[in-house]
Amino acid sequence: MRGTSNGLPSAEPVLELQDVWCAFGDHEVLRGIDLTVHRHEVVVLIGPSGSGKSTLLRTVNLLEHVDDGRILLTGQDITDPRVDADAVRGRIGTVFQSYNLFPHLSVLDNVTLAARVVHKHSRAEAEARGLISGEVGRGTFVQRRRLPATAKGAGQDVINLALNVPPSTGEDELIASVLSEILADGALPPLLGYLPHQGLPSHREIIAEWLRAFRLKIDVANLFITHGGQHALSIALNMVAEPKAMVLTERFTYSGMIALSAQNGYRLHGVDGDADGLLPDALDRAFSDTGARVLFATPSLQTPTGTVMTPERRQQIADIVSRHDAYLLEDDVYAFLFAAPPTPVSALIPDRSFYVTSFAKCLAPGLRIGAMIVPEQFRDRCINAVRATGWMASPIMAEVVARLLHSGDLMRQVQLKRTAAVRRNAIADRMLGNWLTPLSGTAGFHRWLPIPAGRTLIALVTQAAQAGITIAPPGALQQVDRGTLGIRLCLGHPATDDVLENALAELKRILESAEAISFV
């Protein structure tokens, strides 16, 4: 994405990357990158985690090696081995992210630190030269309308429509009271030791009982309490996929799966779907063509697209997984939102399925309690995997969940979350109805916004950011087809329905406005 900071781009490039390659072992991170940046141009690299953005920046600053190609800085080939790397670095400012920033300095001061300390430019001088502006960090090159602070909710700088959490329904007070109860009735000391890796039998029993409502036949022996759903996915994947193995997913998939693949080198292959979920023929072909033996799927309220797989499809998908001698990782974290949950695919092929769920969405992510049902033959290895990756999930937090299940308070929370989901989806339909993919029957906390014709994802994300709204592109897979690109709008994070409505009204204005930032 490009823009200009304060003037037209000059004819002479400041920076030129010509066919730059960089690999770590046999993992190619940069494959023939060409990039030209002119003076006054602002170039933003956007891509999923692990796609090589930071590596690219590091090669420019000679902090990373270049295997092939050339990098020219104002015409000088800085990849020439005779070049003095420190002299080059003195001409390029790099601001590293997160913990590398100085917490006692503002964003502006962090960004201008190198220019002031190394080159002795004053801050005023830097501003006068247009190196910085007061809007650093929010898009310095084009100023757009901002939502007024009052529209964003008390104490909020931005409205976050990128994080998929349910709205608060009083779970904080509930959890506080259960924690006090645990302290008061002396239940804490026995929860403080090293306890069984799979979780306490009493906790597993009550969680199994809860999961039976989701139409699963459960042998408690195969049920694991995990450190959230993500931990369960990581263990399950580790059981059936070697590092660098091919893993099939829906075409757009959950960002946690992309993070896992970046971590372990799994190669994700997106399979096409329609409004009823994964397309059986496409899945069949993908197994045959790629040799993959694992499918990760979220049949109920798929993230990011929100589709719900029909019962017929579930049966077809189960048959295909079996026919290819493959395994299914079924992510069912949104099942609680259904008054009558669809039968999980795992229930059809229990010997080939890892069923994963979590109490993050129906209660609170911070508890870090998830659950997983594994095929009998993997039980012992999974026990060792939990031991190897953290011994056990926190028994104290599992006790909180168990008590809330026992008292019925968790079910009451679920009802409240479902009501909130219906309300928030009604707001989304009222504000953005024509732009959104229609609801598939059950309201969740995310909706799919296909990119309208003639618009780019990047322009929408940027314009929303400039208005103070964070929206996230999908965890897009390798062969993203621009025609089907979209944005997952998360409806649960804004503190109130009004704040959500304000944000969606602004998005509508952005979508409807003819003006577009010109990016190439």
Binding-site ranges for ligand PLP (CB under 6 A): 164, 228-230, 254, 256, 298, 303, 331, 333, 358, 360, 365, 370
The alpha carbon torsion through 119, 99, 266, 44 (nearest 10 deg) reads -40
Q: What amino acid occupies position 190?
A: P
Q: Smallest distance from the beta carbon of 355 to ligand PLP, in angstroms?
A: 12
Q: Smallest distance from the beta carbon of 235 to ligand PLP, in angstroms?
A: 12
Query: Using CA atoms, how far apart are residues 450 and 308, in angstroms rounded to an integer?
Result: 17
Q: Smallest distance from the beta carbon of 104 to ligand PLP, in angstroms?
A: 32
For ligand PLP, the closer of residues 331 and 399 by Cβ is 331
How buried is 313 (Cβ within 10 angstroms: 0-12 exposed, 13-18 middle, 19+ buried)?
A: buried
For ligand PLP, the closer of residues 165 and 495 by Cβ is 165
Which residue has 């239940």 as its token pair? 187
Q: Smallest distance from the beta carbon of 301 to ligand PLP, in angstroms?
A: 8
Q: Smallest distance from the beta carbon of 214 to ligand PLP, in angstroms?
A: 15
CA contacts within 13 A on the Cβ side of 193:
6
For ligand PLP, the closer of residues 303 and 463 by Cβ is 303
Cis amide prior to 201 (ω within 30 degrees): no
For ligand PLP, the closer of residues 21 and 338 by Cβ is 338
For ligand PLP, the closer of residues 195 and 397 by Cβ is 397
SS3 state of residue 303: coil
Q: Are 290 and 248 in contact (CB under 8 A)?
A: yes
For ligand PLP, the closer of residues 69 and 256 by Cβ is 256
Q: Smallest distance from the beta carbon of 357 to ligand PLP, in angstroms?
A: 8
SS3 state of residue 412: helix
DSSP state of 213: T
For ligand PLP, the closer of residues 313 and 488 by Cβ is 488
Which residue(s) pair with 496 in the sheet? none
Q: Smallest distance from the beta carbon of 419 to ligand PLP, in angstroms?
A: 20
Query: Using CA atoms, how far apart are residues 146 and 460, in angstroms rounded to an integer?
Result: 14
Query: Using CA atoms, how far apart are residues 116 and 106, in angstroms rounded to an integer?
Result: 14
